Structure formats: C-alpha cells, structure tokens
Structure 1
Amino acid sequence: MSVKKIYLIRHGQTDFNVRGIVQGSGVDSSLNEAGRRQAAQFFAAYGHIPFDKVYTSKLQRTHQSVQGFLDLGLPHEQHGGINEISWGIREGTRITPEEDEEYYSVLQQWRAGQTATAMAGGESPDEVAARQRPFIELLTSRPEEETVLVCMHGRAMRVLLCQLLGYPLSQMDSFEHHNLCLYKLHYTGSLFTVRSFLDMRHLQQPGL
C-alpha cells in the first residue's frame, strides 16, 4: 500500500479549558471564541489538503474544530472510541487543591505503570486503550483512505499515540498537547512514524 498520512489534532479551546474545569467524555462543551479562531487558523493552513475522510469523537468540540472541512462536504465519521477519557465524579467540577492531590497521585501511578488505575467513577488508560483498538483497526484497514484528519482529545490522544507507536501507556505524558495542536503520522501498512510533533505553526498566523 502507499503511505497513509494521518493528521491528528486536539480540539480547540473551550471555556472549561480556560477555567480549569474538568471535561472528559461526560461534558459536551463547545469551543469558545479563541477555540473557533484556532479552528479557522488550522483550516486556513490545511484546507487545501485533499482529505479522504474526517474522523472525530462524538463530542461537539471536535466537530466544531473541523467544521471548515465538513463544510467542504468531506466524508465524516464519528467514533465514541476516540472520546476523551472519563474522569468520573471529577467531570464538570473546578479543580481544587484537594482534588489536585488526588489527580496528581493518579498520574504518578500511571507513570509508574499502574495504568489500570482510574479516578473515582472514571476510566483507566487501559480501558481507554481497549475502546480505541476497534478505531485503530478501522483506520489501518482502509488503504483507500490515503489522507485522513482525526480530531480528538488530549488524554485520549496520548493513549492513542502510545498504541500507534508501540510505547507503554506509562510513557503517554511524553506526548505533549495543546488546543488545536497537530501530530502528523505516516503509516506504511506495518509501522506508524511521527512526521510532525506538537506542530502549532498554524496558530501563529496573523489576521485570523
């Protein structure tokens, strides 16, 4: 097969991001003004790419982040498998120092390889990885889709990148992310490689 090009982006900014409120898969927030501007900047930079398919999660912040491409009439599929991780009872709440302590304790456990651990009522990285696997199988089984755009979420993106690149989930924090950042990957039929890492040059365009 020819090389498949995958443009993997995180959604644009939401008010929840700014206010330090936990979103996760259970909060279907929308982009704020800055997030819509980021989406416009990404489209201005990459709207000329002939994407064969646009994939998003089922949450509206990902749809809004690629709206310019959808308005072109490009084929679009939603997959719950790439929804954000569930943060359980923390979702929709502002982070407090007490919750920070719990949150960072869980992150430390993940970094130590305890990726079956979850926040109360939420998902573990292992569970997120399991629900992503059918999406990965779909992505790799469609050679006719040579260039695809995937829009998803920060923590889930870290899990996905670990799976695509063969890293243990304990290393997922190595994959930094920001709102509307881009990772560009190539897939040869047997191997994924990163061609662009945390690319945000499109967000530096003036006038948008």
Structure 2
Amino acid sequence: MNNYNKGLTRLILVRHGRTRANEDFLIQGASDGLLTTHGEAQAEQIGFHLSRFKIDHIISSDLTRAYATAMAIAKHHNLPVEKYPLIREWNVGLWDGLRAEEFLNMLKATGKPVSEFSPEGGETLHEVRERARKFLSIVLEKHREQTVVVCSHGDLMRMLVGNILGIEIDQANKIHFNNASYSLFEYNGQHWRAMAINRLPDPAWELD
C-alpha cells in the first residue's frame, strides 16, 4: 500500500486496443485475436497516459488482445502482468464471428432481453456477471488499498461495472467502452464511487 491509496482501493478498467474483428464489426467473444497496427498504437497511447498513475498491480484477461494492451501499460511501471482467464470476454459460442448487425438482429428475433439469451455452445450474461463478481471479490481480498489496472473486454467490463454499481444486466449492457479507454472506480471499504467511465487518454500523438 502507498499513501496515495490509504483507505481506498482503486480499479482502473481498460478495454483492449482495436483488433481486426473490431474493424470488421464482427462479434469477437472468447476467440483470440491480435491487435491491429492501430490497436498497438492505441495500447501504447493508453500505456503512456497511465504512466502518470501510481499503479501497484496489473491484471489481464488471458486473451492476446487484452494481454498485449496490458503489457504496453506494464512497461511504464516495471510490473509483471497477471493473467486471469476469469475475465475473458463473453463466450457467445456458435455466434462468435458473426457480423455485429447480424448478431443484434438474431438476438432481437428471439424476443428475449439480452440477459435471458443463452447462445448455443456459450454462456449467458448471468454467468459472465458471476465471473465478474468472483473476480471482484478476489481483487478486493488480495489487493486492498492498492491501485489495480484490469485489462479486459467490453461485455465482461459491463458486467463488472454492473456488480460495482449495483446495476442490473440489461441496464449495464448499455454502457459503452471504446477500445483502449479507461474507467476508474474507488472503493472505501463500504461503497464504490465511479470517478471516470470510458475516458480516452489525452492524445500523445494523433491516431488515424
């Protein structure tokens, strides 16, 4: 613990940089994917931006796109990156790889809210939310009064924020996270407070 964190646990949630699937508007669930050249630049940018923060620990999903983003942050702090499969993206099973528009249309055709959707070969958002809850409990137990960076994925982060703020799944699902954005939350031992959500770093250089 450092004096900066006295009495507070800080979580900095970072969504991974852009991938080819993001550029092509494809659903990219638990499948792996590399950062594009643009995504690598985004990772460098968020890494530079967060270099001004006093960070104690860095955690990442074990998927390459998140881990590469975490490594771009870690090099500024001389810290290792701890991989957690628990914070992988939502596994949408056979729906993985569909165009986002097609996915949304097929989801709408089921007549169910997204919270009740159970993709074949995948998991429900209730299961994702439970993974997020377990992860949050681990972080609060192991890293009390520390600042922890968590590099993960859009849907997982939505469910994590839902747990933090007590928001139901369908409401939390409306939260948007840009690639390589960061969100900051503080916990005082009793209550969470959102300090920033979907904040983009001050541009150290221009990205196309």
- Aligned-residue RMSD, C-alpha: 2.1
Q: Structure 2: how far apart are the matches of 1:50 and 1:100?
A: 40
Q: 1:11 Cα shift?
A: 0.4
Give the corresponding residue for 2:8: 3
Give the corresponding residue for 1:149: 149
Q: Structure 1: how far apart are the matches of 2:175 and 2:133?
A: 19
Q: Which runs of 5+ in 2 are unaligned?
A: 1-5
Q: Does 1:205 align with 2:185?
A: no
Asked if the contact 1:52–1:145 (Cα under 8 Å) also holds between the matched residues in 2, the reply is no
Matches within 5 A, 1:163-178: 163-178=163-178
Q: 1:143 Cα shift?
A: 4.5
User: Match for 2:70 among 47, 66, 70?
Assistant: 66
Moved more, 129-138 or 158-167: 129-138
Give the corresponding residue for 1:103: 107
2:28 aligned counterpart, secondary structure? coil
Give the corresponding residue for 2:89: 84
Q: 1:17 Cα shift?
A: 0.5
Q: Structure 1: how far apart are the matches of 2:195 and 2:15?
A: 16
Q: State the 4+ residue runs in structure 1 displaced beyond 4 angstroms.
A: 105-108
User: Match for 1:18 among 8, 20, 23?
Assistant: 23
Distance 1:165 1:33, change over 3 A: same
Q: Structure 1: how far apart are the matches of 2:36 and 2:116?
A: 33
Distance 1:128 1:106, change over 3 A: farther
Q: Count residues with an aligned counterpart.
A: 201
Q: Structure 2: how far apart are the matches of 1:50 and 1:196?
A: 16
Q: Structure 2: how far apart are the matches of 1:103 and 1:205?
A: 39
Distance 1:169 1:87, change over 3 A: same
Q: Does 1:196 align with 2:196?
A: yes
Q: 1:191 Cα shift?
A: 1.4
Q: Structure 2: how far apart are the matches of 1:197 and 1:95?
A: 23
Matches within 5 A, 1:109-148: 109-110=113-114, 115-144=115-144, 146-148=146-148
Give the corresponding residue for 1:36: 40
Give the corresponding residue for 2:179: 179
Asked if the contact 1:7–1:182 (Cα under 8 Å) also holds between the matched residues in 2, the reply is yes
TM-score, normalised to structure 2's length? 0.87
Q: Structure 1: how far apart are the matches of 2:34 and 2:145?
A: 29
Q: Which runs of 5+ in 1 are unaligned?
A: none
Write out per-residue CA displacement over residues 106-144 of structure 1, whole angstroms, 9 at most, x where no aligned residue.
Answer: 69613xxxx242222221110111222221111111355
1:141 aligned counterpart, secondary structure? helix
- Quick one: which amino acid aligns to residue 66 of structure 2? T
Distance 1:93 1:167, change over 3 A: closer
Q: Structure 1: how far apart are the matches of 2:71 and 2:63?
A: 13
1:205 aligned counterpart, secondary structure? coil
1:174 aligned counterpart, secondary structure? coil
Q: Structure 2: how far apart are the matches of 1:10 and 1:196?
A: 14
